[in-house]
Structures are given as C-alpha cells and as structure tokens.
C-alpha cells in the first residue's frame, strides 16, 4: 500500500528575504531543559539513538541531556602503549567515560590512530607500523598486537564495552597538508585495514570495523576518484575478500559546511558500494558541523564559510534530515566541546569554548535526537528554492522538514481536504519549541525564511531556517515561490 502526499507549487512573486532581518529564535530556558530531561526515559535495553556526538566525555551530564546514542572517542595507540608492546596504559580512555556512556544508553565507538614513535621507522603518529606486512600472529606485527589487545580488553568492559572500531582518520590527506596523519600509500592503508579486520574478528566476532573517515574534497579538488572508491577496488582484488566481507563493515564520511553535499556525497557513496556489489554495507557520517565564526562570545576570523550561531544550528537539522533521506545509518556532530583553545581559535563545539554553556546548535541536535530518531524511511524532493523531506515511521503521521535553499522566501500552504477543519497542527522550530498552527478555511500556512547568502565565496551554502511539522496523510501542500508551479508526490510504502 502507498500513501501519496502531493506538494503543489503555485506562482507567487515574493521579494527575496534574508534571515538576517528575522529575530532570533528563543532557545530553551532552564525550566524547559529540566522538563525535557525529565521526559526522557533511559532504559538499559532500549534501542540506541542513531544520532551521536564526538567526545562527549568532557561533560557527561550535558551529553546525557543531549540524548545521543553513541559517542566517538580517540583510542590513541601512542598513549595506550607509550613505551613498547608490553606497556599498557588505559588512562587516556578513562573507565569513567565508559560507565557514564553505559548509564546513559550511549555506545562508545573507538577511533584507532597514532603510531607510537617506538613502533615505526617513519614519522611518529603518522608512520607505518613496523611489521605491518608480517602474518597477523607474528609478534613483530605491532599493529596486529595492538588491535588484538584493544579489542579483547574492551569487550564488555564497564557494561556495554566497545565493539565498533574506526581504523585511522582521514588517510586521504597528503603529506605537507594540514591534517596529515597517515604516511602511507593507498595499498598501505588497505593492509592496515585488512590486519585490523582479521585480528578484531578473531578476538571478538561481534566487532565491527569501520573505514577511516575521509574528507572527500582533497580527492575531488585534485581531480582524483574518491579515496573510498580506489580503496575498495584494491580490497576487492584480494583473494580473501569474499571470505572476509571485503575487510570492513561500515563506510565513514566526514561532511562539513555545505548542506546539500550531505545528500550528494552519501548517494555517491551508495553508488560506489553498489558498483562493487557491497550494498549491505552501512554508511555513517562520523563528523559533521558548520563551525561558527560569529559567536558574540567567541569571534573567529576565517576567510571562507562565514557562519553565525543560528546557521550552525540550522545546518545540523538540515544535515540530519538529508542524511536520513540518503539512507545514512548514523550521524555524529563534531563535536561537543573544544577544550584548551587559544583566543579566537576555530571552534566546532556545540558548547561555547569560553564558558561550556550550550550554543543554539546544542538544542538543535537535541531536537533531532528526540524527533528524528524514529524515522524508518525518508524521502527528499528538491527544487532550486526548496528542500522538502518527509520522515516516516509506522506509528504516527509523517513529519515534514522543509527549508529555503536560496535567499528567497517560500510559503507553504497545507490543506487537509476539509475547509471546515479547525484542528491544530504542531510545528517545531529547530530548537524544539512547539507552535500550534490553526487553519484558515482549512489551510495551514508556514513561511520559510530565505537563507543567509552573505558569504561572497560560498553563497547560500547553508539553507534557511527549517520548519518541522507532522502532516496528515493525503494532505495537499502548496509551496509558493518566485519561480513557478510544481507538483511533487512522495510515494510512501507501508
């Protein structure tokens, strides 16, 4: 059975409108925050929330308030084994972090990286591990030793333990470029991954191995095929690839700043997996954000991507909706908090680095964890001036998430087919504040403010302020823009 929701786009000339002229939305006050926490029931066996955070351990109470279901933490090899394979220091991943995560129904996802100086003949942290091409059980294969010990040690530790392991970070960044962290070839990374996969699965058959998150743009700007594409091509050539599920379980993506690229990059990744017959592999976005430059309490000078606090919040809501439409399994914000920054340092955190207080983006991500997590299937319809995404689940009416893609305002009119209807509809803003919409002659009206397109280089790289509401099945939705009339149908299979 399918349910059809029609979006009819009528012609109406509207003057371009910028969010710069709109008053800021209120963020929840202390009382509202306490009410949200009280309403959230934490059950030990409840399914994990698909939305996560990077390094929430800095402030565990705020991370729990956020409502995320997973947290990425760096498991630094150089700190775990500072002197040799016999030295084993776990203080850099404090057991209290695991306990706090377990108590709040949050899963830890480990990022393994940084070669100790004693374990490489190359550059400390980035150099190839010595013995990497030796058999997995050879004592001189130092990387195999570390992976085996880590997977075994953290299996079931402090409750849930750790079963997800990301193998290194951004190996697509070349030497001499900011962020360089892996001094090896594509073939070397493939070997690093193969060893980790075989050893981890032998130590814990439930372990999940994730490809390193990649930047995507380093390859695209250099005119190369994406790193993931070239890597999987190498992995599939291994005669043991089939027996080892191509040596990975999850693809990891890092996507920043440009809203629409979330969907585009995720869909391109699906196409790459399909090309190699690997459609069973999950896609996670391990890092995403639009780091603000215009925080009144923390101004940042940056020549590109001028972002204010509301844009950062809007970006996260837009990213979550687009990721769901692109069938991304999990999404995490980078990150909760930037510690030890110099004054004016670039800050990605959804907490203010000056005082550890939540930025508006904190409440936007909290709204996402609360209202988007139950989504079973999402559908995108994109027009030059509008993104409209329908989030569906089998227990309640579909949820529409919509925003303007350009500086032009868009008006949505929602009719449920009965002109005498006087029932209210609930609409959420990006911070979870609820507004009851009343119809006029059976029609509900919403105004989507235009995007802020003040960045001279990037234009409208983040859409306008999103609106979120549940729409009854069979609703007719009219979007009035400056460009034309369009009819859009979402086919929802039940």
Cα separation of 478 and 7, whole Å? 5
DSSP output for 336-391: S---SPPTT-----SB-TTT-PBPHHHHHHHHHHHHTTT-SEEEEEEETTEEEEEE
**Could you tell me whether strands 425-428 and 467-470 are parallel, antiparallel, or unpaired per DSSP bridges?**
antiparallel
Domains of the chain: 2-20+382-493 (2.60.40), 46-375 (3.20.20.80)
Residue 96 backbone dihedrals phi, psi, to 5 degrees: -65, -30
| Rounded average pLDDT per 10-residue block, the chain, 494 residues | 34 35 89 90 82 98 97 98 94 95 96 98 97 98 98 95 98 94 98 98 98 96 96 98 98 98 98 98 98 96 95 98 98 96 95 97 97 95 93 92 95 83 90 93 91 91 96 84 74 68
Q: Tell me, what's the pLDDT at 488?
A: 63
Q: Tell me, what's the pLDDT at 433?
A: 95
Q: Tell me, what's the pLDDT at 13?
A: 29
Quick check: helix, strand or coil at residue 233? helix
Question: Residue 51 has what DSSP assignment?
Answer: E
Question: HSE of 191 in the Cβ direction (CA atoms, 13 Å)?
Answer: 17
Q: Tell me, what's the pLDDT at 317?
A: 98
Are 210 and 149 in contact by the 8 Å Cβ rule? The answer is: no
Peptide bond into 335 cis (omega under 30): yes
Mapping DSSP onto H, E and C, the string for 128-165 reads: CECCCCCCCCCCCCHHHHHHHHHHHHHECCCCCEEEEE
Q: Which residues pair with 267 in a beta bridge?
A: none
Q: Tell me, what's the pLDDT at 418?
A: 78
Instruction: For residue 152, give the nearest of 104, 199, 208, 210 by alpha carbon.
Output: 199
C-alpha 206: how far from chain center: 24
Burial of 277 (0-12, 13-18, 19+ CB in 10 A): exposed
Residues in the chain, total? 494
Cα separation of 372 and 400, whole Å? 11
């Amino acid at each position: 059975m399918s349910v059809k929701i029609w979006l009819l786009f009528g012609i109406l000339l509207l003057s371009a409108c910028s969010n710069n002229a709109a008053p800021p939305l209120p963020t929840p006050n202390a009382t509202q925050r306490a009410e949200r926490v009280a309403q959230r029931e934490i059950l030990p066996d409840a399914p994990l929330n698909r939305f996560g955070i990077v390094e929430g351990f800095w402030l565990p109470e705020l991370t729990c308030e956020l409502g995320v279901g997973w947290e990425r933490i760096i498991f630094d090899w150089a700190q775990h084994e500072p002197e040799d394979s016999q030295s084993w220091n776990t203080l850099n991943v404090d057991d209290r972090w695991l306990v706090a995560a377990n108590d709040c129904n949050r899963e830890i996802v480990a990022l393994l990286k940084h070669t100790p100086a004693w374990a490489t003949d190359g550059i400390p942290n980035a150099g190839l591990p010595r013995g990497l091409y030796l058999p997995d059980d050879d004592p001189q294969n130092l990387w195999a030793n570390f992976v085996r010990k880590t997977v075994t040690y953290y299996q079931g530790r402090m409750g849930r333990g750790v079963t997800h392991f990301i193998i290194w970070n951004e190996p697509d960044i070349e030497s001499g470029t900011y962020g360089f962290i892996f001094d090896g070839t594509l073939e070397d990374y493939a070997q690093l991954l193969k060893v980790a996969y075989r050893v981890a699965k032998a130590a814990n058959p439930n372990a999940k191995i994730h490809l390193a998150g990649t930047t995507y743009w380093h390859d695209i700007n250099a005119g190369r095929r994406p790193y993931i594409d070239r890597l999987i091509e190498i992995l599939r050539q291994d005669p043991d690839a089939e027996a080892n599920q191509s040596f990975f379980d999850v693809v990891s993506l890092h996507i920043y700043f440009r809203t629409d690229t979330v969907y585009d990059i995720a869909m391109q990744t699906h196409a790459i997996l399909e090309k190699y017959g690997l459609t069973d592999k999950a896609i996670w976005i391990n890092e995403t954000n639009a780091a603000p430059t215009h925080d009144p309490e923390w101004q940042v000078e940056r020549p590109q991507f001028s972002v204010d606090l509301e844009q950062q919040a809007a970006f996260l809501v837009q990213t979550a909706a687009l990721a769901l439409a692109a069938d991304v399994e999990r999404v995490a914000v980078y990150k909760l908090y930037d510690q030890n920054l110099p004054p004016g340092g670039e800050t990605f955190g959804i907490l203010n680095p000056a005082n550890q207080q939540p930025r508006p983006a904190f409440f936007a991500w909290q709204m996402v964890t609360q209202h988007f997590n139950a989504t079973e299937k999402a559908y995108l319809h994109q027009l030059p001036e509008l993104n409209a995404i329908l989030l569906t689940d089998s227990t309640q009416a579909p949820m529409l998430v919509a925003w303007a893609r350009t500086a032009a305002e868009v008006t949505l009119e929602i009719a449920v087919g009965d002109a005498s209807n006087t029932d209210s509809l609930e609409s959420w803003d990006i911070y979870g504040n609820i507004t009851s919409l009343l119809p006029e002659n059976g029609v509900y009206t919403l105004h989507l403010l235009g995007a802020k397109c003040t960045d001279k280089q990037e234009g409208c790289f983040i859409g306008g302020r999103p609106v979120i509401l549940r729409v009854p099945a069979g609703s007719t939705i009219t979007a009035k823009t400056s460009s034309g009339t369009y009819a859009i149908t979402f086919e929802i299979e039940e």
